[in-house]
Amino acid sequence: MPLHVTDYTWTQTDSTVHISVPLKGATAAGVDIVSTEEYLKVHFPPFLFEAFLFEPVDDDRSSAKVGNGVAVFTLPKKTHKVWEHLMITTDDKETKRKIRERALRTQEQKLSAELKQKAEKRQAEKKYALETMMKLEREEKDRIQQMKDAEREKTTAELAAWQLRQKQEAQEAQRNQNHQIQQNPGTKLPGNRQTDIRKNNQVHSDAEKKKKKIRAQLPPPRTCGNIPVTFTPRVFPTALRESRVPEEEEWLKKQAEARRAMSAELEELEDLTEEERNPDWLKQKGDKCFSNGDYVGAVNAYSLGIRLNRKLPALYSNRAACHLKLRNLHKAVEDSSKALDLLTPAVSANAAARVRASVRRGSAFCQLELYAEGLLFPSGLKRLHSALQKKQVIS
């Protein structure tokens, strides 16, 4: 049972409340704080400080400083006035229970919103990084294309200039030759023009004949068709640059091992009837055995149901209750812990199941004399534990 802190101090102004809670040697990492508009809790095992505030405060502007062996809270008031007391003076346990439950729900909603905001922030950062990388790749591609275009234009200009020079030189040579013929009409030039023309015609004729002969020797063109192309299939449809190949391969390997294990178990259980292959039927069978005091039979029914479906938390939680009756305390701790793992995240729909699993694990720890591990913080859990022990109720 937690020890309540009574040596706290508090001061106030018209607009703010200041509360100082001594931490009694606890470190900042070991302090659990829950703060809402009407409730404040500071838990550092085995000590607990709870404050059911006299008036609502502005939780969004509240602040806490933990250090030097003390936790200091600054709580702005919603209504500017002097409080008569720090906490409400009623001793109604039901009222306090409702305030505590509202505070826990508010804290869960706040944590869920923070996690969602962090996830959105990480997603936005990944998206920004990807867009930046794609932008850099586009800029680099454009720069390379510009370099290619510039080099192509330069080469084209050089080629055009060279062709122009060749044409001008040929024209200049032709003019010089004509001029020489006009000045010396009786002179026979070493490269007679008619002879050159005949030689050129003969060369062109021979080349044309050779081309026709080669074409005649070539085989006819092949008929057109389609060539099928196949690619290595990928189980994950993500792009390769975005995928994490080692993690994907490890996941596929685990899936294959799980399928092999399931096939082996089904082969072992092939003699079972159709009802005995239904985990829900086995759960009801185990519940009936538990109600009749046959705890060993209930354990066998729940164990067979777990072999068929390892994702039902009720099977682990109920088997933990059977182990408690049989004094198998370590197995009870293991099964209730597995049930709590499967009952995450904590929501209103699985609150009752989480309470049952927590009570059973805490009871096993306490019977093992591990009181710190078996400590249950909400006082309502102990009342539910007592009812479960009296009625032998299971889920």
Q: Is residue 123 domain-shared with residue 48, that is, in the same domain?
A: no
Domain count, the chain: 3
Instruction: Tell me: do 282 and 365 sit in the same domain.
Output: yes
Question: Which segment, 96-110, 251-265, 266-280, 371-385, is predicted with the most confidence on average?
Answer: 96-110
> Which amino acid, one-letter code, is at 121?
K
Whether residues 79 and 124 fall in one domain: no
Q: Which residue would you say has higher pLDDT here, 11 or 210?
A: 11
Classify residue 155: in a domain, yes or no: no
- Whether 85 and 125 share a structural domain: no
Asked whether residue 114 is domain-assigned, the answer is: yes
For residue 166, tell me if it sits in a domain. no
The tokens of 260 are what?
């092999």
Asked whether residue 260 is domain-assigned, the answer is no
The dihedral built from the CA positions of residue 15, 53, 30 and 114, taken in this order, carries a sign that is negative
State the pTM of this model: 0.34
Q: What is the DSSP string of 174-239?
A: HHHHHHHHHH-TTPPPSS-HHHHHHHHHHHHHHHHHHHHHHHHHSPPPPPP----------SS-S-
Same domain assignment for residues 286 and 361: yes
**Residue 272: what residue type?**
L
Q: What is the mean pLDDT of the chain?
A: 81
Residue 366 lies in a domain: yes
Report the distance separating Cα 380 and Cα 386, nearest Å.
Answer: 10
pLDDT of residue 380: 39
* Neighbour tally for 144: CB within 10 Å: 10
Highest mean pLDDT among 82-91, 142-151, 362-371: 142-151
Is residue 170 one of the residues assigned to a domain? no
- For the chain, state the CA radius of gyration: 44
Point out the domain boundary residue: 74, 89, 104: 89
Average of per-residue pLDDT across 249-274: 70
The mean pLDDT of 183-188, rounded to a whole number, is 60
Q: Which residues pair with 332 in a beta bridge?
A: none
Residue type, 227: I
| Residue 331, pLDDT above cutoff 70 | yes
Q: What is the rounded average pLDDT of the residues 148-176?
A: 91
Which one of 75, 110, 145 terminates a domain?
Answer: 145
282 and 387 within one domain = yes
Q: pLDDT digit string (tens) for 15-38?
A: 898 988 888 878 878 888 888 888
Is residue 120's pLDDT more than 70?
A: yes
Q: What domain range is 112 assigned to?
A: 93-145
Instruction: Say yes or no: 135 and 84 in one domain.
Output: no
Which backbone phi and psi does 214 adopt, to 5 degrees?
A: -65, -40
Structure confidence by residue, pLDDT tens digits, 45-58? 888 888 888 888 88
Tens of pLDDT, residue by residue over 285-305, are 999 999 999 999 999 999 988
- 294 and 351 fall within a common domain: yes
- Residue 23: inside a domain: yes
Of 79, 72, 104, the residue nearest 379 (C-alpha): 104
Give the pLDDT score at 30. 81
Q: Find, among 319, 337, 324, 316, the residue nearest to 368 by Cα.
A: 324
Range from 132-136, 190-194, 197-201, 276-280 carrying the lowest mean pLDDT: 190-194
CATH of residue 289's domain is 1.25.40.10
Co-location of 112 and 79 in the same domain: no
DSSP state of 87: B
Q: For residue 363, is pLDDT > 80?
A: yes
In this structure, the answer to whether residues 305 and 379 fall within a common structural domain is: yes
How many C-alpha atoms does 308 have within 13 Å on its Cβ side? Answer: 20
Q: What pLDDT sits at residue 93?
A: 79
By three-state DSSP, how is residue 151 classified? Answer: helix
Residue 38 pLDDT: 83
Answer yes or no: do 292 and 384 share one domain.
yes
Q: Say if 12 falls within a structural domain.
A: yes
Which amino acid does the sequence have at 135? K
User: Which of 46-50, 245-249, 317-321, 382-386 is predicted most confidently?
Assistant: 317-321
CATH code of the domain in which 41 resides: 2.60.40.790
> What is the pLDDT at residue 264?
65
